[in-house]
């Protein structure tokens, strides 16, 4: 490794590779750990969803059993009668009424015993208390864990025992109506579904911290008391989101899940303590970190080994450059490099120097030929003043013969030619539009009654700099390929407007459409970077000149209109 460490370029490169490998290793390690943590959290989420579904299913089942039992009361006259006896204020009054009005040839019906047999057993111990209320007070039937029944009579409705707390359970209310007059309410049932027997059924799920929270902020802890607190649960319950991450200060971070009940006014809050989760999965995380660290060390050793040979190759490159500086083109590749990639690069370097020498000589000769050709072309150019004088003489002759249209056409042509010759190569779009308008005026005289044009360009575009004489080739393209001499309405429209971040110029005609295959060929020739001959020379020249002038800020689009004709759009980005 020391052979390349002494070379500055390889030393900097090795440091850069080290930073890159360490960064990639850290990113991959963190991403792997994040994916695993996400999977563990998703597993906890699935457990939480299943647990909440189980609770809701149990509550739904319990309320369905209560509804069924209320139907049983209304459908059984003797049971309804016993319920009305139970509304008395004392146990003695209840028993006396039962004995006084019972028939000797029928068995006694006991509302509490019937409820224990039918309701308590079917609800699998979830029912802990049933109270029957009137305006004067309430009588209570309580069920122990073993199913034994106890009574309390004459309890005031304001007694603490009737205060609804989530620690006790969930109260399900049902009105008791007179079967002979349904609109008359004679009491109210309050069925208490106990929290402890209900939530005991989800302790088998893998829940980290779970609690039921009422709307008033009361908390019933289901699991997780060993490393969770009610404050954590209340803070998670205040979140408006149904799930997400929350920081409880310091390094205490949790993933919370809130489930709102559809049957009762409570929400089930479940938390995943991330620090506790990582302690549980520490073995897996350490294995991942060790694997990433080992992979980084291996990659860096491989890079160092390759750089050692690269350093030797660099010395050969330097020697080759020194030979070129002294005009020594004799091949001098070391023998040891002739049978591997380094030897191939050395040979290619020598070939490149030789070809470069040939190319320089060839280009020099071509430049001489080009200059000679340009000189000959200058000698054959027409003197502009001679052309101006000739056009003015023709115009005077036309006016003499009262041919005003011909005179106007010649004047416009002379003005157009004068602007083309004398104006700078860089003009404004407004000046370029003036050149186009003169050309279109001439064409309007050439096709009277058959050609019309319209120019509507917003003022901000008129001051933009552009190259000279690029709009006329686009118009000429319409007269060559799209113009219909037999039609009485050939139209060319030039629109220009400013949008957010760009300027747009649009050339639209109603002439002939371009076949799709030919349209694709034109687009390919416009965007092609090679110098191969193309059929659309005018469009290609315009595209090339504008591309050179505007650079990446320029874009040209060509497409057929829906009904007829072609649309060419020139887009110039701002900035």
3-state secondary structure of 513: coil
The C-alpha atoms of residue 338 and residue 346 are separated, in whole angstroms, by 8
Query: What would the mean pLDDT of 491-496 be, rounded to a whole number?
Result: 94
Q: What are phi and psi of 324, to 5 degrees?
A: -65, -40
Residue 228's nearest CA partner among 259, 260, 272, 266 is 272
pLDDT of residue 373: 45
pLDDT of residue 542: 87
The residues near 312 (Cβ < 8 Å, ≥ 6 apart) are: 3, 342
The C-alpha atoms of residue 210 and residue 268 are separated, in whole angstroms, by 7
- Higher-confidence residue of 322 and 382: namely 322
pLDDT of residue 86: 86
Cα dihedral 48/144/153/113 (nearest 10):
100
Q: List Cα–Cα distances, 364 to 358, 359, 367, 369, in angstroms.
A: 10, 9, 5, 9
pLDDT of residue 247: 76
Band (382; pLDDT cuts 50, 70, 90): very low
pLDDT of residue 386: 41
Percent of the chain with pLDDT strictly greater than 90: 19
Q: Which residues pair with 390 in a beta bridge?
A: none
Query: What would the mean pLDDT of 358-365 be, rounded to a whole number?
Result: 56
Residue 487 has pLDDT above 90, yes or no: no
Band (433; pLDDT cuts 50, 70, 90): very high
pLDDT of residue 379: 38
Query: What would the mean pLDDT of 213-225 be, rounded to a whole number?
Result: 85
For tokens 């308590």, name the residue. Answer: 120
Query: What would the mean pLDDT of 352-360 be, rounded to a whole number?
Result: 65
Q: What is the DSSP string of 304-324?
A: HHHHHHHHHHHHHHHHHHHHH
For tokens 């709102």, name the residue. Answer: 260
Query: What would the mean pLDDT of 442-469 be, rounded to a whole number?
Result: 89
Q: Which residues pair with 255 in a beta bridge?
A: 245, 272
Is-contact 172 193, C-beta < 8 A?
A: yes
Q: Which residues pair with 558 in a beta bridge?
A: 568
Residue 430's nearest CA partner among 413, 408, 449, 455 is 455
Element of type H or E holding 426: strand 426-428
Q: Which residues pair with 560 in a beta bridge?
A: 566
pLDDT of residue 502: 92
Structure tokens at 96: 């006396």
Query: What would the mean pLDDT of 458-486 be, rounded to a whole number?
Result: 89
Starting at the edge strand found earlier in the chain, the sheet holding 502-509 runs: 451-457, 490-499, 502-509, 566-573, 554-560
Is-contact 177 183, C-beta < 8 A?
A: yes
- Higher-confidence residue of 281 and 384: namely 281
Return the biggest CA–CA distance within the chain.
144
The C-alpha atoms of residue 258 and residue 49 are separated, in whole angstroms, by 10
Mean pLDDT of the residues in the chain = 80
Q: pLDDT for 519-563, tens place per residue?
A: 888 888 877 765 555 566 778 888 888 888 888 889 999 999 888
Of 201-215, 368-382, 463-477, 497-511, the poorest mean pLDDT is in: 368-382
3-state secondary structure of 110: coil
Band (338; pLDDT cuts 50, 70, 90): very low
Band (132; pLDDT cuts 50, 70, 90): very high
Query: What would the mean pLDDT of 148-171 be, rounded to a whole number?
Result: 89
pLDDT of residue 109: 78
pLDDT of residue 328: 61
Residue 192 has pLDDT above 90, yes or no: yes
pLDDT of residue 171: 93
pLDDT of residue 419: 60
The C-alpha atoms of residue 436 and residue 304 are separated, in whole angstroms, by 66
DSSP-assigned letter for residue 6: T
Q: pLDDT for 238-275, tens place per residue?
A: 888 888 888 766 557 888 899 998 888 899 998 888 88
Top mean pLDDT of 192-201, 323-332, 382-391 is at: 192-201
3-state secondary structure of 80: helix
DSSP-assigned letter for residue 564: S
The C-alpha atoms of residue 71 and residue 203 are separated, in whole angstroms, by 33
DSSP-assigned letter for residue 117: I
Band (6; pLDDT cuts 50, 70, 90): low
The residues near 451 (Cβ < 8 Å, ≥ 6 apart) are: 443, 444, 483, 490, 491, 492
pLDDT of residue 409: 63
């Amino acid at each position: 490794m020391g052979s390349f460490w002494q070379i500055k370029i390889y030393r900097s490169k090795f440091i850069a590779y080290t930073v890159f490998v360490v960064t990639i290793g850290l990113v991959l390690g963190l991403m792997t750990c994040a994916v695993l943590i996400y999977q563990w959290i998703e597993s906890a989420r699935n457990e939480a969803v299943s647990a909440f579904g189980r609770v809701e299913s149990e509550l739904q089942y319990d309320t369905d059993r209560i509804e069924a039992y209320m139907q049983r009361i209304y459908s059984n006259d003797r049971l309804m009668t016993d319920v009305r006896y139970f509304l008395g204020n004392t146990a003695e009054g209840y028993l006396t009424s039962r004995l006084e009005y019972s028939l000797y040839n029928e068995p006694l019906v006991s509302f509490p015993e019937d409820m224990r047999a039918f309701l308590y057993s079917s609800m699998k111990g979830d029912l802990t208390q049933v109270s029957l209320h009137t305006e004067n007070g309430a009588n209570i039937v309580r069920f122990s864990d073993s199913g034994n029944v106890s009574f309390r009579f004459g309890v005031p409705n304001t007694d603490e025992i009737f205060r609804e707390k989530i620690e006790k359970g969930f109260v399900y209310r049902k009105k008791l109506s007179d079967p002979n007059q349904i609109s008359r309410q004679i009491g109210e049932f309050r069925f208490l579904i106990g929290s402890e027997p209900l939530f005991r059924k989800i302790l088998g799920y893998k829940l980290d911290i779970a609690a039921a929270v009422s709307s008033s902020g009361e908390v019933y802890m289901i699991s997780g008391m060993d490393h969770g607190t009610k404050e954590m649960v209340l803070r998670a319950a205040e979140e408006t989101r149904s799930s997400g991450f929350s920081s409880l200060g310091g390094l205490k971070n949790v993933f919370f899940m809130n489930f709102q009940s559809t049957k009762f006014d409570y929400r089930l809050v479940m938390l995943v303590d991330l620090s506790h989760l990582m302690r549980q999965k520490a073995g897996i995380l350490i294995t991942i970190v060790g694997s990433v660290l080992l992979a980084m060390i291996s990659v860096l050793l491989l890079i160092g080994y390759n750089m050692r040979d690269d350093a030797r190759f660099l010395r050969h490159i330097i020697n080759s450059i020194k030979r070129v500086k002294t005009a020594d083109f004799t091949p001098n590749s070391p023998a040891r490099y002739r049978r591997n990639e380094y030897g191939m690069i050395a040979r290619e370097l020598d070939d490149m120097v030789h070809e470069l020498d040939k190319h320089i000589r060839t280009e020099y000769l071509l430049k001489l030929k080009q200059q000679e050709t340009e000189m000959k072309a200058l000698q054959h150019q027409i003197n502009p003043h001679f052309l101006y004088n000739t056009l003015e003489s023709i115009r005077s002759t036309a006016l003499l013969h009262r041919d005003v249209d011909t005179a106007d056409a010649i004047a416009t042509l002379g003005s157009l030619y004068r602007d083309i010759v004398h104006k700078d190569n860089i003009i404004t779009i407004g000046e370029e539009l003036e050149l186009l308008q003169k050309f279109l005026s001439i064409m309007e005289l050439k096709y009277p009654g058959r050609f019309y044009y319209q120019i509507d360009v917003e003022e901000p575009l008129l001051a933009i700099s552009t190259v000279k004489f690029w709009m006329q080739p686009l118009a000429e393209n319409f007269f060559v390929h799209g113009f219909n001499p037999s039609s009485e309405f050939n139209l060319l429209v030039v629109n220009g407007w400013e949008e957010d971040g760009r300027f747009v110029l649009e050339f639209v005609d109603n002439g002939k459409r371009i076949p799709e295959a030919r349209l694709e060929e034109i687009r390919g020739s416009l965007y092609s970077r090679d110098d191969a001959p193309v059929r659309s020379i005018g469009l290609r020249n315009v595209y090339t000149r504008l591309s050179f002038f505007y650079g990446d800020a320029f874009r040209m689009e060509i497409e057929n209109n829906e009904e007829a004709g072609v649309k060419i759009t020139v887009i110039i980005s701002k900035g």
